[in-house]
A and B are shown apart, each in its own frame.
Chain A
Amino acid sequence: MARSDVQLMMDVKAGDDESFDLLLRKYRSPLVNFLGRMVHDRATAEDLAQEVFLRVYRARKQYTPSAKFTTWLFRIATNLALNSVRDHRHQRMEVSIDAPKNDEDESLPRELPARGMRIDERMIERDRTEFIRRAVLALPEKQRAAVVLHKYEDLEYAEIANVLECSESALKSLLFRAYESLRVQLAPMIATQPVATPAGKGRQA
């Protein structure tokens, strides 16, 4: 019978390094995937993912199963990613399309680019996937984390709210604002997208 994540972590706490390997094999891909969408380069994402596992390993003796293991894991990852993004913000050379200076400015109206302008030029230079990736990266950090955890990690709302240390209502607001931004940034793609499936049928497994 497969052991739960919490049980594996308790075994790691008791000194069983094989259980740590099992957790590593299970979560290295989700973590790299999450961090790769949160930061601007792959090398940093891998470094951060390794740092997450290092912190889990270092904290093994103090581990108490007070929350879901994935909540704990992704909270560490999110905090590391947000710190990294803030630390390297000044180094970024990319010009964000309409990202605000910080999360406090999210409520302010933004200067939105006109639909159809320059976006097509950018699309010539970059391929479609890269364009979408950059649109997500242009979101304010907390909105970005909400979208990535929701869309790519498929965590439940309650768990994402726990990871981001906010209420479920605040999480829904974050997602709404993020989708509103993406609606503008990805406008050319949305226009060419076929009519979607009926409500509630589009969720990925």
Chain B
Amino acid sequence: MKCEEVSKELVTYIDGRTGTGTRRVEEHLAVCEACRTRAEEFRKISMVLDEVPAIEPSFGFDARLRQRIAAQPRRPRFVWFVRQPRLALSMALLAALAIMVAKLPLGNPVARPGSAAVQQEDFNAIRNLGVLENYDVVTKLGALSDLTAMPANDAQPPLRQPNQQPSSDGGNGGA
């Protein structure tokens, strides 16, 4: 074994970890004074290094660490989703498409006849008409034909029914 080879093994040797190589190192040391001196000094270095005491954590180390852990920002629940940009994009497109489809009927101005919305719209139109307009519209409403005429002494004239001549007896048809 050459000095160079032995040198690399010296720390291992003084450590007692050379295993099967120990005998070869010892054979070399027996005949090489330079390597023997070096080995001896390495062993002394190892002993000197042992003099330095261990460094212990200070009091409160655990408490400070727990505080730091508690202060960690919480990971978003759907972070896995963000890590898959293709999936995220696909899902976003699908969501946008669904919203567009859902909005289609609302944007259509053609209302379905007989629906509650149409009835409400008609009612509002009638209620908001001016007096003159209101008269024509109201008198033409078929739904009012069932109403009986008002008494003669009433201050207001009875409503005129469509396709009906005004009667002289107050509208009761005589009896």
Chain A positions near chain B (C-beta within 8 angstroms): 24-25, 28-29, 32-33, 36-37, 42, 45-46, 49-50, 53-54, 57-58, 128-129, 132-133, 136, 147, 150-152, 157, 169, 172-173, 175-176, 179, 182-183, 186, 189-190, 193, 195-197, 199-204
Contacts and interface: CB of A to CB of B under 8 A. Distances in A.
Interface in B28-67: 29, 38-58, 61-62, 64-65
A28 B51 contact: no
A46 B12 contact: no
A129 B41 contact: no
B161 interface: no
A50 B68 contact: yes
B13 A136 contact: no
7 contacts: A33-B55, A53-B65, A54-B72, A132-B52, A152-B49, A176-B7, A202-B47
A204 B50 contact: yes
Interface string B107-139: 000000000000000000000000000000000
B42 A50 contact: no
Determine the main DSSP class of B at the interface with A.
Answer: helix
B8 A193 contact: no
Contact of A50 (B18, B22, B65): B65
A53 B68 CA distance: 10
Contact of A186 (B8, B16, B18, B45): B45
Contact of A195 (B7, B40, B50, B54): B40
A146 B164 CA distance: 115
B20 to A, nearest CB: 13
Nearest to A174: B11
